Amino acid sequence: MTSKTPLWLALALGITLGGMTHAADNISPAAKDPNLWLENIDGTKQLDWVKQQNAETVKKYADSDAFKQLDARLLEVLDSNERIPMVSKIGDHFYNFWRDKEHPKGLWRRTTLDEYRKDKPAWETVIDLDALSAAEKENWVWHGADCLKPDYRRCIVALSRGGADADVVREFDLNDKQFVKGGFELPEAKSNVRWMDADHLYVATDFGPGSMTKSSYPRIVKEWKRGTPLASATTVYEAKDDDMSVSAMRDNTPGFQRDFVTRQIAFYDSETFVRGKDGKLTRIEVPSDANVDAHREWLLIEPRSDWSIGGKTYKSGSLLAARFDDFMAGKRDITVLFEPTDTTALDAYSWTRHQLILNVMDNVVNRLEVLTPAAGEWKREPLGGAPALSTIAAAGVDDDASDDYFLTVTGFLQPTTLYYGTLGQGDAQAIKHSPRFFDASKYDVSQHFATSKDGTRVPYFEIAPKNLKADGQNPTLQYGYGGFEISLQPAYSGNVGRAWLEKGGVYVIANIRGGGEYGPRWHKAALKANRLRAYEDFAAVSQDLFARKITSPAHLGAMGGSNGGLLMGNMLTLYPQLYGAIVSQVALLDMQRYTHLSAGASWIAEYGDPDKPQEWAWLKTFSPYANARAGQTYPPVLFTTSTRDDRVGPVHARKMYAKLSSLGYDTSFYENIEGGHGAAADNKQAAFMSALGYTYLWEHVK
């Protein structure tokens, strides 16, 4: 059970479906699409085409001394040994995954708390991914580990080839620091694997034909016993073919061991069941769009719609608590732990052993509260403080054993500081400081509000030189996302500082609808048929920048990735007059075929189903690939993607670039052969991709 799963984790479910295999799924648009051949992701002809476009883009934008200097400076940020090594506690040690110049693929390493507090901790290497990749002749990318408590000796380690979401799974021994010979192992697939006990796993994976959903996720979860073939594993639950996925897990908290099965119906709808020792499943009776989280004796519920029960109505975006056993027995004694207002939303929460930390946003700026369970109203008090327009976040270190917590404070101009403390024992102490990668004293951060087309007030952050002249001539980069209830909050970025601010640019973050800045209501305001609201909001921020004479269309660039890449595609086709250049990264763009490409079917709850005529009616209004046409005044646009992106897939960017190019527009394309949805498998690739985007914008909006 997890709380407030970030988009980059929630989306980490997709696998490649194989391009041309599905060309007949949507015959009408396919028959009219001259670029359909590019959907064969790994075809020789297609990859030769990719390499040709890459070479042209490199020659034009990435072959100068200025580019190479920027690339090196961005890599210096990513490889810096002064970065904070963020850790998680596993047993008695604190573990960190670390990449740098000497270890480009990375080290999984550990240390003690006493060592970690030092400026230069002594680390013990557990897995050297560079050595493993060399020995096995694979480009392994770290996908994490799940370790079995309470002794934390055995772990399930996930490794990806080249950064794809699909990975291989192997059992690992933390004492021996070796993979277990004859241990649990799964071939490459999009798998969900969790420990039951030392000899049993819950496994949801590709069991063969018919075992995956239309969304390309596991449809069946099984119980697998050590020493037996996977084929003999016992089925626990089968989801429907048009569900999104299924998973199971065991909470091994001493005294509160429970097994859960989750049927993910769609992106925002699910059913969670408690699995009894007899295998019987009992549903936790909450609305399907509510998130649930069990912790010891407590059940936490987050309704995404107003929920009326027991004669009371609980607001969408609230956090509610009930005693787990009482709730399962039919009692509905519910305590409201958080209720949103017009300006506040719950960003996240985290348990310690005895208390609950809430991270609340008020107009996209954080504050923290500590809640202590009690009869009736829970006791609450503030936790820490932070500078204006910054982000403060806290999380428990070990919710089984202590009330210790980590706290971070960061801002656009403030490098991250990491604190360690114990609730109820005074202020947390700073133990780590991120380095400064640029001179922040030259800039100011401010928050503004634009008025969208329908009158909605839309916040945005602006980072600009202190001596900024309001003459409309300032090179400005506007960034946005606007989807999946993900919030864009203040955070330090050495890359933004070096690549944009130091060169005299203004940087803007637009908190448009579709995100989570004001909770579920802000997200739902731009769902499906209302998607255009997100694009109207982004345009309104641009127009507000013009009205304030910060910049003008010729000097305004826009950038976004994934769902933000779709945003960029729509700013290109719907609002081309507002921008001097656009960069669209790992984007969805062909909304008529997106459900048939990679993991696209999983996002029908966000966008709609183009195979239903009534839903295509609205989808086509924000399908950049469908709407791009001749005779327009489109600004220059760069599309970047990755061959190994098995989540969105490279097909969207390939086809969009090919169409615009055939129509004679100024467009460029770069596809990293590795990298997955992050478009980079290591820091060197990440620095290059970042430098390419910034260089492209500077070329056109300076």
**What positions carry a catalytic annotation?**
562, 677
d(CA 359, CA 178): 38
Bridge-partner residues for 255, per DSSP? Answer: none
Best CA proximity match to 258, nearest among 239, 281, 238, 290:
281
**Residue 127 DSSP code:** E
- First and final C-alpha spacing in the chain: 48
Cα–Cα dist 687/680, whole Å: 9
* Residue 428 structure tokens: 């947390």
Length of the chain: 702
Contact 472, 552 (CB under 8 A): yes
Beta bridge partners of 391: 410
Determine the Cα–Cα distance for residues 209 and 219; give it in Å rounded to an integer.
11
Task: Say if CB 366 and CB 387 are below 8 A apart.
Answer: no
Q: How many CB atoms lie within 10 A of CB 231?
A: 9
Written as six digits, the tokens of 522 are 């802000």
Query: What sign does the dihedral 197-230-276-217 (CA atoms) show?
Result: positive
Separation of alpha carbons 306 and 391, rounded Å: 28
Q: Under the phi-then-psi rule, with left for phi > 0, alpha for psi from -120 to 50, and beta for the rest, what region is 264? A: beta
Cβ contact 431:420 at 8 Å? yes
State whether residue 491 is helix, strand or coil: coil
Radius of gyration of the chain from Cα atoms? 25
d(CA 444, CA 31): 53
Task: Tell me which H or E stretch contains 585.
Answer: strand 581-585
DSSP for 364-420 reads: TEEEEEEEE--SSSPEEEE-----TTEEEEEEES-TTT--EEEEEEEESSS--EEEE
169 phi and psi angles, rounded to 5 deg: -125, 135
Least Cα distance to 178 among 157, 205, 151 occurs for 157
User: Any idea which residue has 């008529």 for tokens?
Assistant: 592
Give the helix/strand (H/E) hosting 574. Answer: helix 563-574
192-197 and 185-189 strand pairing: unpaired
With residue 261 as reference, give the H or E element that holds it: strand 258-266
The answer to whether 473 and 443 are in contact (CB under 8 A) is no
Which H or E run contains 480? strand 476-480
| Segment (H or E) for 330 | none
Helices (H), 497-562: 520-524, 532-547
